[in-house]
Amino acid sequence: MTAPRRRVLELLLAAGEPVKAYDLIARFGGDGQAAKPPTVYRALDFLERQGMAHRIASISAYVACAGHETDHAAAFLICDCCGATREVATPAVEGLDQAAITAGYVIERTTIEAHGRCPACLSAA
Ligand SMILES: [Zn+2]
Ligand SMILES: [Zn+2]
């Protein structure tokens, strides 16, 4: 893995939560030195294709994968109250794969994003 890719993954793992691309660009240098945006975007694209990170489109943020090493579909539970996200395994993805095969599609990337309230926000309400 190249240094920029390793650095971006390191930042995502350290954050432990979804991070916006511009925050990654700003934190990249460690000493307040920003990276060139294409460097970070290319690294994110690579990490995403490897299944080491995921892009959560609905909140425009990236997050380190919760455990899979290879390319895989990701499903996220997203709290609209506090922003907490959780990657989960779901059989819904397999159903989607089947539907794609039936329709003659080849899926390259799947991310399911479910919005709602996390347990902490539910119990605080
Ligand atoms: Zn994952
Ligand atoms: Zn919450």
Residue 12: its H or E element: helix 3-15
Quote the ligand 2 centre to 100 CA distance (angstroms): 33
Query: What is the DSSP secondary structure assignment for residue 88, as one 8-state letter?
Result: E
The number of the ligand nearest the C-alpha atom of 120 reads 2
Tell me, what's the pLDDT at 72? 76
What pLDDT is attached to residue 108? 83
Q: What is the pLDDT along the chain (125 residues), one digit of tens a residue?
A: 789 999 999 999 999 999 999 999 999 987 777 889 999 999 999 999 888 999 999 999 999 998 765 667 889 999 999 999 999 888 888 888 899 999 999 988 888 999 999 999 999 97
Q: Are strands 53-56 and 74-79 parallel, antiparallel or unpaired?
A: unpaired
- Residue 68 has a pLDDT of 64
Q: Nearest Cα to 111, choosing from 55, 65, 68, 63?
A: 55
**Residue with token string 């994003």:** 113
Which-ligand-closest: CA of 47?
A: 1
Which pLDDT score, from 0 to 100, does residue 5 have?
95
Rounded Cα–Cα distance for residues 10 and 19 (Å): 12
CA of 100 to the centre of ligand 1 (A): 20
User: Which pLDDT score, from 0 to 100, does residue 70 have?
Assistant: 64
Distance from the CA of 86 to the center of ligand 2, in angstroms?
11
CB 9 within 8 A of CB 53: yes
What pLDDT sits at residue 34? 83
Q: Which pLDDT belongs to residue 71?
A: 65
Contact 24, 47 (CB under 8 A): no
Tokens of 91: 């059989």
